Amino acid sequence: MGSMADLFWPGDERADGHFTDAAFLRAMVEVESEWLGRELEVPELDPAAAEAGGNPVIALVRLLREQDLEVHRGLTSQDVVDTALMRMAMHAVADVRLDLAAIGHGLTGLAEQHRDTPMVARTLTQHAVPTTFGFRVAAWLTAVLDADEDLARLTFPRQLGGAAGTRAAMVELGRELPTGIPRWHTTRAPVTRIGDALVGCTDACARIANDVVTMSRPEIGELAEGSGGGSSTMPNKANPVLSVLVRRAALTTPQLAATLHLAAAQQVDDRADGGWHAEWATLRDLVRRTLVAVSQTADLVADLRVAPDRMAANLAAAGDAVLAEQRSMTDDPAPTYLGDAGAYVDQVVARAKAALG
């Protein structure tokens, strides 16, 4: 598949050919081919031709009928668009999960390596009690595993309802009707569930990126990106560019999912007048931004630089304040105050190994 590039969204090429115009056209032709029972060639479709009918299927069918007059009989435009979107989403989610697995493997190694690496915990930006970097990584890893589980539960149903969901034309034509295929013309849970699961991925990635941005500040210096980006005016700077770009995605994807829910709430009659149409580009942007974010996070985790000496120094510099809670609990404090942090790390690591193999 060819890749796109977008100067407005640096890194967009990481999403490769997912949800491009070419992929959408190909997926719609595949839907028509399967319904017809023979393979159709993908024609060249001028995107401007989609405006007249409000969707690209009408112009596409006109071209496909030059190959076979029986094409599209019994279907409606929404059957083709929805099924094509689900087909594309299924392939995109598979690639998202590959990158999540890479992130998960990387975090598992970090959690094991730094299970007992001491550092100071921070709550509401302030020093709290002692913790370990392995504990922090285990929190990252938990979010990634949760996001992957949500993706694994997704379904990508076909849409075969005909003009108003009744399949009247299919019955009239004597077509053998598929069983177990929902007619969800105005019930948009298949779309909103995909959107919600993708946002869960960018949430999990931002959880990591937020900490890297904070902990890589020079005055903290506990983490650093493996190859930080440069500055156009200060060549000595090594900006946490991947983390910044991941945060950018997480700041925008929830609004895209909200648009999908708004479109679902605006469904009316037996096909919505605008709510359905609002989904296509919204889902495209959400899918591509998620693909980019998980790919960037995989690179971020793979090359992350950890500074245990700075973690220990910052913990020591925090002084007695980090042991205030411990002293309020006992007159005979233990040498360390880490609770069952190590056990939590072990539990999350075991979950990751079971899930990721």
User: Which of 185, 194, 157 lies closest to 77 in space, CA to CA?
Assistant: 185
- Phi first, then psi: give them for residue 85, nearest 5 degrees: -60, -40
* CA within 13 Å, CB half, 55: 22
127 three-class SS:
strand
Hey, how many other C-beta atoms are within 10 angstroms of the C-beta on 291? 25
**DSSP tag of 122:** E
Exposed, middle or buried: residue 350 (CB in 10 Å: 0-12, 13-18, 19+)?
A: exposed
User: Do the beta carbons of residue 275 and residue 263 sit within 8 Å?
Assistant: yes
Alpha carbon 329 to its chain's center: 43
Burial class (CB in 10 A: 0-12, 13-18, 19+), 107: buried
Q: Tokens in use for 117?
A: 């690496």
- How many Å separate Cα 50 from the centre of its chain? 29
Number of other residues whose CB lies within 10 A of the CB of residue 143: 18
Q: Rounded to whole angstroms, how far apart are CA atoms 340 and 65?
A: 67
Taking alpha carbons only, the member of 319, 296, 86, 275 closest to residue 181 is 86
Annotated catalytic residues are 231, 271
Q: How far apart are CA 120 and CA 126, in angstroms?
A: 10
Return the structure tokens found at 208: 């990591």
